[in-house]
Chains A and B, each alone.
Chain A
């Protein structure tokens, strides 16, 4: 956690001017570095910009990109583009929700899984697509999701 705070401070110090149009790039950079926007980070940004925390939180929640909980150990991205949907991405999303009990953008309580939806990845021939920490799983069926998640659970227990 200390590391994240340091990183946040370092990024903020680069945006000393505190110009409003730097706000989104600043938040993006913090998220890229630390994986999410912590309460502390939002407070610090507010101080720099001279904006209230609620304003910044309001802005950040407007956009899909920002998340307020750390990413899980396994970050799943499901393509929900048109082609993937036609090939059954809806069932994949349903299965993930059923298995993990979380909505897109959230993280499971044990910190192991988080997931989000992507609007199109451009792999339309292979849909539905699930990406786990950068590894692609193609032409998925709901039962594959089950076995992937089971496998990841086992793997994380071993460590």
Chain B
């Protein structure tokens, strides 16, 4: 082990020339498992995989080889495919291309491995192969980058995900990692690095889309005794899992990005701000940091360059508002995570009063790549004003869900139709919600909007941190908006009144729209209308007057939903109807006399005792008593209960 470390440091990391000598490459190939005499099994083991049972798959694979006394390497990697394929595994036989298989649960391991070793590939499990087109190719099996979900993506930032063991620094270095960092601290000054990043056109991947290089420069040019770099790895948006996936799959490239960014702003302390409760991600990033320290990539006087760096991990104690920069800093200082007025911006006056740069995980993942390939390379990807790629966590009702990376300029339609492959279970597309709890709805008509900061800004849409929820017609827009409003209402820090009170009122009004009042008389109706009339003006006050981004963007889902689906809101308010049949308070059921056999199942299960009748005779529902829970609808075997 000591030998490998010495070899990697002396012969790879500190090697002067760009191209490594052949004999070094030979060893690296072995570490990368490109030339390997035993089979290698890669089992994806991110959170999504573990939920699907990847741990049992791992154990089953281990016992398969140990019981047969044959040698093989079994490696846990990060997630690379869609979540539908989990547990997703990859088998590499010596001299052959890698084969990918889907949904390999514990009991499938043995037949699958038996099959593969006897050249009999089970057709229902195979996804595709990866590798060269001539040597080692499996005939008749499609290449993985040609099949749906993978085909439309441009995986640059996620390029390493699922390909290597995230707990092995050796493998990362063998894949060319950390050389860029060493090259950077040896050859460039702080401001040169800022310059390169600025020239590349990299923009912050969450929210504002500010030029990363310019932000760094501003911090570097503020005179101070010390500076801080914070990597915001906390994504608490409901339905976002980009950062978690990266931390689980490729922690070393993130550390390299952090190290370069810290060097660029001359910070000696960097902090990774993690989300609470991310077990696997925490374990992997902690281990990766330990390894980096061992190899001297962080620490005192790194490779005699005179640059010191200490990377720490801190855990978010659970507050959505801490995604806002100044609130995040307050929480790091041991205070309530409440935002303050900007300016001064954190880049000039941040943690402990020192210049502080806060970047999110996706932004920092790009840094090492830009330094390695040059700003020109990065500028060649994407559109005129938005460079590079963007990662989304596609979830909801699409056929495929998972983390997706596309080139800037790709349309939203492309992601929905080509990557997520439309709606699952034969549903019908309704909208995409982009950007999480403070995001926007995109309906059929605006699906052709390109993923581009400028284009989206023009249409009044924000890029967001990566939430991408596809919804179909079985989803009620009003209910969905209410869900987000409830979330923001719970997470509002309470410092400024527009946000604290505005979210509460908006939530109340939305709830009154979908709730069944105790008495449906003219007074309650009037009250409801009065509320509804105020919604838009509350929203606009919140937008103008809230202190931080959380409050300013809180009405976004409501406003964009109202713009796109006004008729659905009106239906709820005037007709008291929910076309998706989601809103419990608005639905009542009737029993079809023709179909009802009088089996009494619905009457016995009804929690409100609202169903009456005589056995073997048709039953009936008392509308006043019905709470709309829908249990009778679900339990009826004869389809006699219908929604009114």
Contacts and interface: CB of A to CB of B under 8 A. Distances in A.
Interface of A: 19-25, 27-28, 58-59, 62-66, 80-83, 85-86, 90, 118-126, 129, 136, 138
Given A119-B236, A120-B239, A59 B433 contact: no
30 contacts: A20-B333, A21-B334, A23-B334, A24-B331, A24-B332, A27-B317, A58-B336, A59-B336, A62-B337, A62-B493, A63-B331, A65-B316, A66-B317, A80-B238, A81-B238, A82-B396, A82-B436, A83-B395, A83-B469, A85-B483, A86-B475, A119-B236, A120-B237, A120-B238, A121-B51, A122-B47, A123-B52, A124-B401, A126-B51, A126-B52
B397 interface: yes
Contact of A86 (B277, B316, B396): B396
Contacts of B469: 82-83, 86
A64 B236 CA distance: 12
A123 B57 CA distance: 17
Contact of A62 (B83, B84, B319, B397): B319
Contact of A21 (B84, B236, B333): B333
Given A63-B331, A83-B469, 12 more contacts: A21-B333, A22-B334, A23-B334, A59-B334, A63-B317, A64-B319, A65-B276, A86-B396, A119-B236, A122-B46, A136-B51, A138-B51
A157 to B, nearest CB: 26
Contacts of A122: 46-48, 51, 83, 241, 244-245, 393
A122 B51 CA distance: 9
B499 to A, nearest CB: 15
A126 B436 CA distance: 19
B240 interface: yes
B314 interface: yes
A56 B401 CA distance: 41
Contacts of A90: 483
Contacts of A126: 51-52
A63 B319 contact: yes
Contact of B237 (A23, A28, A119, A124): A119
B317 A28 contact: yes
A121 B396 CA distance: 14
B176 interface: no
Given A21-B333, A64-B319, A121 B395 contact: no
A62 B327 CA distance: 12
A54 to B, nearest CB: 13
Nearest to B321: A62
A20 B330 CA distance: 11
A59 B331 CA distance: 10
Nearest to B275: A119
Contact of A125 (B315, B331, B401, B493): B401
Contacts of A28: 315, 317
Contacts of B467: 82
Given A23-B334, A28-B317, A123 B471 contact: no
A146 to B, nearest CB: 12
Interface string B349-363: 000100000000000
A25 B276 CA distance: 12
Nearest to A32: B315
Given A63-B317, A66-B317, A86 B333 contact: no
B118 interface: no
B335 interface: yes
A10 B67 CA distance: 45
Contact of B396 (A62, A83, A129): A83
Interface in B270-318: 276-277, 314-318
Contacts of B236: 119
Given A82-B433, A123-B51, A124-B395, A118 B337 contact: no
Contacts of B335: 20, 59
B283 to A, nearest CB: 14
Contacts of B237: 119-120
Given A22-B334, A62-B319, A120 B240 contact: yes
Contacts of A82: 238-239, 395-396, 433, 436, 467, 469, 483
Nearest to A134: B279
A124 B83 contact: yes
B500 to A, nearest CB: 13
B318 A129 contact: no
Nearest to A61: B336
Nearest to B351: A21
Contacts of B345: none
Contacts of A120: 237-241
B480 interface: yes
A32 B314 CA distance: 14
Contacts of B83: 122-125
B336 A62 contact: yes
Q: Most chain-B CB neighbours within 10 Å: which of A19, A28, A85?
A: A85
B317 A83 contact: no
